[in-house]
């Protein structure tokens, strides 16, 4: 797994993939599944593209690139998890929080295991939320996900890893550039310790990304903790 993960991430760091190119890669990954689960994953990918239509990442890229990349990373990380459920949860992990899809809808279409994992990975904020409230909300989510383990934790770590690797695409003109110090602090405080406990290979990759950000002058804003 470490060598497979490292090779995948090296490619993700270098390439400037399109939504369509990542869709093809997810579809290739799903080809090993029996016909029924494969069709479910293919249909889920199409639905996720529609749900995230018009949304952008912090670097301005189409948002749907992210869940597709998370699906690829989760495949490299998986141990005993069912591949179909792993791909479904990875693709769906942001639709409750960002697209207004209900866990009931997910359960009806994809089953209780997928619905539970996506629900645990979702932590919607509220208008007027303070930085302290946001921090506590995210910490509470992280505790629940770690306690759940398995499929849910694998997708959570894949989500974190894609987010952190994608920092490399941010430049001062990017909409999310100003968030980098806070995100770097979160990596030090939460992401790397969590990965060290469960996915040491992920921790290695995260430390590499943190060092890269520091090498280009981003600091972790320790003087402004809230």
The pTM score is: 0.93
Q: Are residues 26 and 92 in contact, defined by beta-carbon separation less than 8 angstroms?
A: no
Res 226: pLDDT? 39
Q: Are residues 103 and 126 in contact, defined by beta-carbon separation less than 8 angstroms?
A: no
Whether the predicted pLDDT of 224 surpasses 60: no
Res 225: pLDDT? 42
What are 68-126's pLDDT values in tens digits? 999 999 999 986 679 999 999 999 999 999 999 999 999 999 999 999 999 999 988 77
Res 117: pLDDT? 97
Give the bridge partners for 62, in sequence order.
Answer: 56
The helix/strand/coil state of 28 is helix
| Percent of the chain's residues with pLDDT above 90 | 81
Q: How does the average pLDDT of the chain come out, rounded?
A: 92
Comparing 49 with 224, which gets the higher pLDDT? 49
What would you report as the CA-atom Rg of the chain, rounded to the nearest whole angstrom?
Answer: 17
Res 220: pLDDT? 75
State how far the Cα of 184 lies from the Cα of 119, in Å rounded to an integer.
26
Domains within the chain, CATH numbers bracketed: 2-224 (1.10.3210.10)
Whether the predicted pLDDT of 223 surpasses 50: no
Neighbours of 83 (CB within 10 A): 17
Whether the predicted pLDDT of 145 surpasses 60: yes
State how far the Cα of 114 lies from the Cα of 60, in Å rounded to an integer.
29
pLDDT confidence band for 131 (50 / 70 / 90): confident
Res 80: pLDDT? 62
State how far the Cα of 52 lies from the Cα of 49, in Å rounded to an integer.
5
């Amino acid at each position: 797994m470490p060598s497979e993960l490292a090779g995948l991430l090296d490619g993700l760091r270098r390439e400037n993939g399109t939504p369509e190119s990542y869709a093809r890669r997810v579809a290739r990954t799903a080809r090993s599944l029996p016909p029924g689960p494969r069709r479910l994953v293919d249909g889920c990918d199409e639905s996720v593209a529609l749900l995230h239509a018009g949304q952008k990442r912090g670097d301005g890229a189409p948002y749907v690139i992210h869940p597709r990349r998370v699906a690829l990373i989760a495949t490299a990380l998986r141990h005993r998890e069912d591949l179909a459920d792993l791909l479904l949860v990875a693709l769906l992990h942001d639709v409750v929080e960002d697209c207004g899809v209900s866990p009931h809808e997910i359960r009806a279409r994809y089953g209780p295991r997928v619905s539970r994992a996506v629900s645990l990975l979702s932590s919607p904020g509220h208008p007027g939320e303070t930085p302290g409230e946001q921090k506590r909300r995210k910490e509470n989510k992280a505790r629940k996900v770690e306690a759940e383990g398995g499929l849910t934790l694998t997708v959570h770590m894949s989500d974190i890893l894609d987010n952190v690797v994608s920092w490399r695409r941010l430049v001062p003109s990017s909409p999310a550039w100003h968030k980098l110090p806070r995100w770097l602090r979160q990596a030090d405080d939460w992401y790397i310790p969590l990965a060290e406990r469960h996915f040491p290979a992920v921790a290695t990759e995260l430390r590499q990304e943190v060092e890269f950000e520091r090498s280009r002058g981003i600091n972790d804003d320790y003087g402004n903790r809230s």
